[in-house]
Structure 1
Amino acid sequence: MGDRRRSLCSRSHDALEIPGWSSSPSNRSPNPPCPSRPSASSRDGMPATARTTTQSAKLNQPSTLDDVEVIAFDVDNTLVDILQTKRDTFAATLETLADRGLAIDPEAQARELYAFALEEGIDDPDVVPRFLVEELGVDDERMLADGRRTMERLEPGMVQLYEGVISTLDQLRSRGYQLCAVTDAPREAVRRRLPPNGLTGRFDRVIVREDTPRGKADTRPFEMLLEAVDARPEQLVAIGDHPVRDVSNVVAMGGHGVLAEHGTRSSYNDVAAEHEPTAAIDGVEELLALLPGCDQRSSALASLTR
Structure 2
Amino acid sequence: MIKAVIFDLDNTLVDFMTMKKQAIEAAISAMIDAGLKIPPEEAKQRIDRIYAEKGIEYQQVFDDFLREIYGRIDYKILSAGIVAYRRAREAALVPYPHVYMTLTTLLKMGLKLAVISDAPAREAWLRLCYLNFHHIFDHVITFDDTGERKPSPVPFLKALELLGVEPHEAIMVGDWAERDVVGAKKVGMKTAFARYGDTFNTQNPEADYELNDIIELIDIIKKENGWQ
TM category, shorter:
0.7 to 0.9
CA positional deviation for 1:90: 0.8
Structure 2 residue 197 is matched with structure 1 residue 263: yes
Is the radius of gyration larger for structure 1 or structure 2?
1
Q: CA–CA distance in 1 between the matches of 2:192 and 2:146?
A: 22
**Which stretch of the first structure deviates more once superposed, 186-195 or 169-178?**
186-195
Q: Which residue of 2 aligns with 1:188?
A: 122
Alignment of 1:156-195 (within 5 A): 156-195=90-129
More helix by share: 2
Structure 2 residue 226 is matched with structure 1 residue 292: no
Say which SS state the counterpart of residue 217 (structure 1) adopts. coil
Say which SS state the counterpart of residue 280 (structure 1) adopts. strand
- The amino acid across from 2:79 in the alignment is D
Q: CA–CA distance in 2 between the matches of 1:183 and 1:299?
A: 30
Distance 1:118 1:81, change over 3 A: farther
Conserved? CA contact 2:34–2:77, under 8 Å: no
Q: CA–CA distance in 1 between the matches of 2:139 and 2:84?
A: 27
Q: Which residue of 1 aligns with 2:83?
A: 150
CA positional deviation for 1:86: 0.3
Q: Which residue of 2 aligns with 1:77?
A: 11
Q: Which residue of 2 aligns with 1:119?
A: 52
Structure 2 residue 172 is matched with structure 1 residue 280: no
Select 1:251's aligned residue among 185, 203, 210: 185
Select 1:230's aligned residue among 136, 139, 164: 164
Conserved? CA contact 2:151–2:184, under 8 Å: no
Conserved? CA contact 1:73–1:238, under 8 Å: yes
- The amino acid across from 1:298 in the alignment is G
- The amino acid across from 1:284 in the alignment is I
Say which SS state the counterpart of residue 244 (structure 1) adopts. helix
Deviations 1:129-166 (Å, cap 9, x if unpaired)? 223333x4463342465267436633333313211111
Alignment of 1:127-142 (within 5 A): 127-134=61-68, 136-137=69-70, 139-142=72-75
**TM-score, normalised by the number of residues in structure 2:** 0.86
Conserved? CA contact 2:15–2:197, under 8 Å: yes
Conserved? CA contact 1:87–1:110, under 8 Å: no
CA positional deviation for 1:207: 0.4
Q: CA–CA distance in 2 between the matches of 1:109 and 1:158?
A: 23
5+ residue gaps, structure 2: none
Structure 2 residue 142 is matched with structure 1 residue 208: yes
Task: Please report the RMSD computed on the Cα atoms of aligned residues, expressed in angstroms.
Answer: 2.7
Distance 1:117 1:180, change over 3 A: farther
Say which SS state the counterpart of residue 291 (structure 1) adopts. helix
Distance 1:111 1:210, change over 3 A: same
Q: CA–CA distance in 1 between the matches of 2:46 and 2:83?
A: 14
CA positional deviation for 1:200: 1.7
Q: Which residue of 2 aligns with 1:37?
A: none
Conserved? CA contact 2:173–2:180, under 8 Å: yes
Alignment of 1:57-76 (within 5 A): 67-76=1-10
CA positional deviation for 1:119: 2.2
Distance 1:140 1:229, change over 3 A: closer
Conserved? CA contact 1:116–1:131, under 8 Å: no
* Number of equivalenced pairs: 226
